[in-house]
């Protein structure tokens, strides 16, 4: 949804970076942002106001993660093999950091956070396989990409800070004889999980069908 405007902003920012700022440095800033996100969520156990820190972390993560490649393209210093390897390993690390941090807060059940991480990694594997087999690199689904996800989380954080009934609401139920309590944040996490699972299953079905046509069954 924001791709066209975001590209213009990133080029504008890249053209104004000091010479001493490098793509690797920006990648590191993206990792720092994920650590800030995790810290903000963990500290929200003590005060909901720390969610502002988590939101700031999403902004820092966006700045580093989105700008590193743009800077290399603007300066014509691309390193496609090294960049592909580094960037996508770091993406997995930063997502793991953020999911663990959110799962260690009182807002989100750790099992849900780990399930979101697992499905995210499955989607990532699918993306990398397609990049290798058919040169297609797709990170956006249904008009939603990493930037939109960050904005949604910032909006959710803001709502939980501003609306006390939202963060105080919860539902208790039994799962296999164990009492479980889910709050609003848990249901938001479940919704994200369901959406990711549906995207993954749909992509798996469509990609498998396409590859079956490219590589049909050989006659015996």
Task: Read off the pLDDT of residues 51-72 as tens digits, 9 standing for 90 and up.
Answer: 999 999 999 999 999 899 899 9
CA-wise closest residue to 127 among 70, 203, 74: 203
H-helix or E-strand containing 103? Answer: helix 80-103
Task: Give the contacts of 69 (CB within 8 A, at least 6 positions apart).
Answer: 23, 83, 87
Number of domains in the chain: 1
77: three-class secondary structure by DSSP: coil
> Would residue 100 count as lying in a domain?
yes
Alpha-carbon Rg for the chain in angstroms: 20
pLDDT of residue 141: 61
Give the range of the structural domain holding residue 121, as residue numbers without chain letter.
3-214
> Would residue 166 count as lying in a domain?
yes
d(CA 188, CA 166): 12
> Would residue 219 count as lying in a domain?
no
How does pLDDT run across 192-219, given as a tens digit for each residue? 999 999 999 998 999 999 989 888 888 8
d(CA 194, CA 189): 9
The tokens describing 147, both together, are 């930037």
Regarding pTM above 0.95, the answer is no
190: three-class secondary structure by DSSP: helix
d(CA 192, CA 195): 5
Burial class of residue 119 in the structure, from the number of CB atoms within 10 Å of its CB (0-12 exposed, 13-18 middle, 19+ buried): buried
Task: Give the contacts of 165 (CB within 8 A, at least 6 positions apart).
Answer: none
For residue 48, what pLDDT band results from cuts at 50, 70 and 90? Answer: very high
> Would residue 209 count as lying in a domain?
yes
d(CA 101, CA 57): 12
- Please report, for the domain that includes residue 42, its CATH number: 1.20.120.1760
CA-wise closest residue to 179 among 109, 81, 76, 126: 109
> Would residue 111 count as lying in a domain?
yes
The tokens describing 46, both together, are 């003590």
Mean per-residue pLDDT over the chain, rounded: 90
Per the CB < 8 A criterion, the answer to whether 192 and 114 are in contact is no
Burial class of residue 142 in the structure, from the number of CB atoms within 10 Å of its CB (0-12 exposed, 13-18 middle, 19+ buried): exposed
> Would residue 14 count as lying in a domain?
yes
pLDDT of residue 158: 96
């Amino acid at each position: 949804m924001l791709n066209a405007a975001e590209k213009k902003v990133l080029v504008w920012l890249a053209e104004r970076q000091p010479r001493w700022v490098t793509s690797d440095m920006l990648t590191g800033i993206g990792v720092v942002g994920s650590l800030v996100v995790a810290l903000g969520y963990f500290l929200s156990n003590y005060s909901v106001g720390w969610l502002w820190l988590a939101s700031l972390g999403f902004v820092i993560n966006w700045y580093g993660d989105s700008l590193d490649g743009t800077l290399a393209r603007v300066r014509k210093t691309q390193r496609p093999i090294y960049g592909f390897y580094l960037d996508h390993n770091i993406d997995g690390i930063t997502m793991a950091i953020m999911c663990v941090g959110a799962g260690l807060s009182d807002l989100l059940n750790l099992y849900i956070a780990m399930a979101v991480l697992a499905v995210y990694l499955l989607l990532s594997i699918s993306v990398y396989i397609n990049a290798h087999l058919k040169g297609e690199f797709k990170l956006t689904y249904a008009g939603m990409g990493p930037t939109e996800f960050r904005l949604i989380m910032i909006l959710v954080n803001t709502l939980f800070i501003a609306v006390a009934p939202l963060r105080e609401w919860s539902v208790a139920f039994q799962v296999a004889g164990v009492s479980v309590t889910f709050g609003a944040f848990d249901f938001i996490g479940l919704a994200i999980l369901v959406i990711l699972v549906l995207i993954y299953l749909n992509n798996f079905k469509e990609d498998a069908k396409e590859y079956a046509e490219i590589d049909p069954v050989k006659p015996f």
